[in-house]
Amino acid sequence: MVWVPLGSPRTDCLTLLHPPPNANSPKMSLEWLVAWSWSLDGLRDCIATGIQSVRDCDTTAVVTVACLLVLFVWYCYHVGREQPRPYASVNSLMQGADTNGLQNGYVYCQSPECVRCAHSEGLNQKLYHNLQEYAKRYSWSGMGRIHKGIREQGRYLNSRPSIQKPEVFFLPDLPSTPYFSRDAQKHDVELLERNFQTILCEFETLYKAFSNCSLPQGWKMNSTPSGEWVTFYLVNQGVCVPRNCRKCPRTYRLLGSLRTCIGNNVFGNACISVLSPGTVITEHYGPTNIRIRCHLGLKTPSGCELVVGGEPQCWAEGRCLLFDDSFLHTAFHEGSAEDGPRVVFMVDLWHPNVAAAERQALDFIFAPGR
């Protein structure tokens, strides 16, 4: 709609705002007021036309909405590109070079400032700096518990009962229990159990190498007061071990299908753990309470037991056992040599009460090498 004055010839806007010098006469004043009234009516009609155009979705409105959508897509791409990818594909691992710092297929900490190894007063300052950096990039929203935990970390760890004392980071207000039910992470538990035979077959292929040498490449010997405890890591402290993953491609691919697997921070591990008969693991605490440690039984002879927080449990082949390793825990194999080793596939899952926003922030704060 276009407004066209019906009265005297169109009056210039500047003239309307500033009447001519001889406008002091009553006649000129009256004409000026009439013209100004027509101008206001026209402005009103223009605004009404613009609103109606938006309602009718004319070309201008469509272009505006399209521009906003393009900006939104660009923003999502920009933010998404900064997020760490949980796992590389198996093919890329097979084609790529091995990770730096590998010795015998195991990732050793080479930094004196590693958050898992540093037990100093400067650790909390470093964690708080990482939290501030995360909040500047993203948001403080949902960071209340993490901020509280970092700010009062020393008090929490010192005041905790001896039954549960995570060595590195304690997230307050999380439900604490030595063992968790299968429903705590039902999807991942069922997925692991459905793939029991796949994981077992790849382990048996790996274990044949022990007949040729005492400790095949890729395996790590752990310190124990008696017996032998060896582990074969696919993911160690949030870092994939490419050489080992190439030997267990289907098991490694399975990790990418788990919804709650910790794969992007130093508290995330996935490995095959083997206890020989007569082995006892010294009682110890895990580094944090933000995770659940899941054991899928592959070979579970009699005489094997896990004790967490003073409560004993036994493994079962093809079944998952979930526990909080920030509680004091130990494991032992009291069977005979004829029973063979106890073997579990171990993977770290998120504690079910750690929110999605907190998981993203903790991945950032405890990223490997940060």
The CATH class of 179-355 is mainly beta
The C-alpha atoms of residue 239 and residue 267 are separated, in whole angstroms, by: 10
> Which residues is 331 bridged to in the sheet?
306
**What per-residue confidence (pLDDT) applies to 64?**
77
Higher-pLDDT residue of 112, 128 = 128
The C-alpha atoms of residue 176 and residue 298 are separated, in whole angstroms, by: 27
**Stretch 188-211: mean pLDDT, rounded?**
95
Does pLDDT of 278 surpass 50? yes
**Stretch 328-353: mean pLDDT, rounded?**
96
Distance of CA 49 to the CA centre of its chain: 50
Number of other CB atoms surrounding residue 231 within 10 Å: 17
Among the listed residues 245, 4, 215, 227, the one whose alpha carbon sits nearest the alpha carbon of residue 107: 245
What residue ranges do the domains of the chain occupy?
179-355
**What per-residue confidence (pLDDT) applies to 23?**
46
**Stretch 161-189: mean pLDDT, rounded?**
93
Contact yes or no for 234/87 (Cβ under 8 A) = no
Write down the mean pLDDT value for the chain: 81
**What per-residue confidence (pLDDT) applies to 7?**
46
**What sign does the dihedral 109-328-251-199 (CA atoms) show?**
positive
The C-alpha atoms of residue 197 and residue 299 are separated, in whole angstroms, by: 11
Give 209's DSSP letter.
G
Does pLDDT of 290 surpass 90? yes
**What per-residue confidence (pLDDT) applies to 95?**
46
**Stretch 343-369: mean pLDDT, rounded?**
96
The C-alpha atoms of residue 224 and residue 281 are separated, in whole angstroms, by: 6
**pLDDT band, residue 10 (cuts 50/70/90):** very low
pLDDT tens per residue, range 32-52: 555 655 566 666 776 777 666
